[in-house]
A and B are shown apart, each in its own frame.
Chain A
């Protein structure tokens, strides 16, 4: 990426609150030669009004304990400057809730998103087939991609949705933590009620094909390299007459860091 920008006469700078030693280790590991600037204490991030207080608000909202690493954290995003240093373009995430496809500055600019193709990974057992794929097989800094999971219950079977009866397991997906990737909350369609004759109980279930999504934001500095996203889909399938044991299907989704060869920065 960087050699191309350099050849086009564009300077690249990355700013975070990391100490110099952390940035040096990162640059050495990934062969990065452009400036990684250390704003230890987040003084510049604060002066520019880019502190993400939202992380702490969100965590408090959802009852997640405060993390000192979230103090002084910037929103991930980028500025494009013209020759005079005037900001010609600015892109930060508009919202956690927008189901955008590749909202990233680079993604949008470079038009990297491909149609969903043959790159879906499939696992199945006797009652359920799960397929998973990413919006794109490549990512760029600040791009938001979604993990897509499609679960199909075999005819006559359903899988539980939340809330579940005690002792049962609802349909869910989990992405293993990975450096430089923010993992959002999974969204599933609402399950529908299901009543078993003779039982005074109502369950919430999914039948047929269900499509869930989970947003990922790539927030490590450019040059972080290729990644593998590990997704686990957990569910419990039942028919009218029997319930199978809870299952967890592991799916590995590789994603390459996009190269910028031959690309241009966005026009102001």
Chain B
């Protein structure tokens, strides 16, 4: 029997909230502050599985 479905609306930050502050290194090792780099632009933030497999 498959496992029951999961409610994905309850996972992670929700619509209407400010996206959390995120500071992470990019592919060149430079630290990127997501909101600062966005600089008032709209953004698409994608979470993906490994780029390696």
Contacts and interface: CB of A to CB of B under 8 A. Distances in A.
Q: Interface residues of B: mostly helix, strand, loop or mixed?
A: loop
Interface residues of A, number: 70
Given A36-B27, A80-B43, A16 B48 contact: yes
Contacts of A86: 16-19
B46 A14 contact: yes
Interface string A70-94: 0001111111111111111110111
Contact of B48 (A84, A90, A141): A141
Contact of B16 (A18, A87, A96, A220): A87
Interface in A1-59: 5, 9-18, 20, 22-24, 26-27, 32, 35-39, 44-45, 47-50, 54, 57-58
Given A57-B3, A88-B15, A45 B47 contact: yes
A83 B34 contact: no
Given A87-B13, A96-B5, A15 B22 contact: yes
Most buried by A among B15, B37, B41, B49: B49
A98 to B, nearest CB: 7
Q: Interface residues of A: mostly helix, strand, loop or mixed?
A: mixed
Nearest to B47: A74
A197 interface: no
Interface of A: 5, 9-18, 20, 22-24, 26-27, 32, 35-39, 44-45, 47-50, 54, 57-58, 61, 69, 73-90, 92-98, 141-142, 179-180, 182, 219-222, 224, 265
21 contacts: A11-B41, A12-B46, A20-B25, A20-B26, A24-B28, A26-B51, A37-B22, A37-B32, A38-B24, A38-B26, A44-B24, A75-B12, A78-B46, A79-B45, A80-B44, A82-B42, A83-B42, A90-B13, A92-B11, A179-B53, A180-B51
Given A10-B44, A38-B27, 9 more contacts: A5-B44, A20-B28, A26-B27, A37-B32, A61-B3, A73-B50, A94-B7, A96-B2, A182-B49
